[in-house]
């Protein structure tokens, strides 16, 4: 296995539409996935799309781990480490939630991004089996973020309020300011998501 270099925002590979994979079970895809998993874990990310490692192919990996204190949450909020080839999704309804996101291609920054709360996604596992799953909340968010990478979209391009793009080190200051401005604002309720 090999640690791969991660492309950063501004590199054109992140703005291109990735190619459909003809054979999800091919050795090349398997090798790419192994290296993507190692690279993501090394960078302590929770999702990675092939264009982020300079491979313009429709391949993503992600996870949505269950944290302590979330025992009561729905199973669809969580996912073990999953690899998906040629993924796509549909929203299950129109509900959007604003939550904080980061990206290994935009190191050191965090932004509040509206995403669908409930989706169904489809794709192929590395063994060629078709996958279809419902996802909610953070699980739905990470899948939408990774699929966006396959279409050349980075999270700031989805933001509706760029004043909520902050350096990680400033997030605490930002949150204090936001709480002062608008005590109890629902938009900020998801702030601990990432």
Tell me how far, at minimum, the Cβ of 176 lies from Ni ion, in Å.
Answer: 27
Task: Give the nearer residue to Ni ion in terms of CB position, either 148 or 190.
Answer: 148
Q: Does 143 bind Ni ion (CB under 5 A)?
A: no
Site string for Ni ion, 48-87 (x = CB under 5 A): ----------------------------------------
State the CB neighbour count (10 A cutoff) for residue 43: 15
Under the binding rule (CB under 5 A), the answer on residue 40 touching Ni ion is no
Using CA atoms, how far apart are residues 163 and 189, in angstroms rounded to an integer? 17
Contact between 103 and Ni ion by CB under 5 A: the answer reads yes
Q: Which is nearer to Ni ion, 98 or 103 (CB)?
A: 103
CB-based contact 40:34 (threshold 8 Å):
no
- In the complex, the smallest distance separating the C-beta of residue 171 from Ni ion, rounded to whole angstroms, is 17
Task: Judge contact between 49 and 146, C-beta under 8 A.
Answer: yes
Q: What is the DSSP letter of 177?
A: H
Least gap, CB of 45 to Ni ion (angstroms): 8
Alpha-carbon gap, residue 33 to 31, rounded angstroms: 5
Is the torsion defined by CA of 163, 164, 165, 166 positive or negative?
positive
Q: Is 146 a catalytic residue?
A: yes
Q: Is 7 in the site for Ni ion (CB under 5 A)?
A: no
State yes or no: residue 46 binds Ni ion (CB under 5 A). Answer: no
Q: Which residue has the tokens 């949450």?
A: 73
Q: Given the residues 19, 41, 101, 146, select the one marked as catalytic.
A: 146
Phi-psi region of 57 (alpha: psi -120 to 50; beta: other; left: phi over 0): beta
| Contact in structure between 92 and 120 (CB atoms under 8 Å) | yes
> Considering the rule CB under 5 A, would residue 191 count as an interface residue with Ni ion?
no
Q: Which residue is nearest to Ni ion (CB)?
A: 103
Which residues are the active-site residues?
146
Q: Which residue ranges make up the site for Ni ion (CB under 5 A)? A: 103
């Amino acid at each position: 296995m090999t640690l791969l270099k991660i492309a950063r925002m501004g590199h054109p590979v992140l703005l291109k539409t990735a190619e459909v994979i003809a054979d999800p079970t091919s050795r090349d895809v398997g090798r790419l996935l192994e290296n993507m998993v190692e690279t993501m874990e090394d960078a302590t990310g929770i999702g990675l799309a092939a264009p982020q490692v300079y491979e313009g192919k429709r391949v993503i990996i992600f996870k949505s781990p269950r944290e302590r204190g979330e025992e009561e949450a729905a199973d669809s909020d969580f996912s073990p480490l999953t690899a998906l080839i040629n993924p796509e999704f549909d929203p299950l309804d129109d509900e959007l939630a604003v939550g904080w996101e980061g990206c290994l291609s935009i190191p050191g920054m965090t932004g509040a991004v509206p995403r669908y709360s409930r989706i169904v996604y489809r794709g192929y596992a590395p063994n060629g089996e078709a996958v279809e799953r419902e996802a909610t909340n953070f699980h739905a968010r990470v899948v939408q973020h990774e699929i966006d990478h396959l279409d050349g979209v980075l999270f700031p391009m989805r933001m509706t309020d760029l004043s909520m793009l902050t350096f990680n080190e400033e997030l605490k200051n930002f949150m204090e300011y936001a709480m002062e401005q608008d005590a109890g604002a629902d938009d900020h309720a998801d702030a601990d998501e990432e």
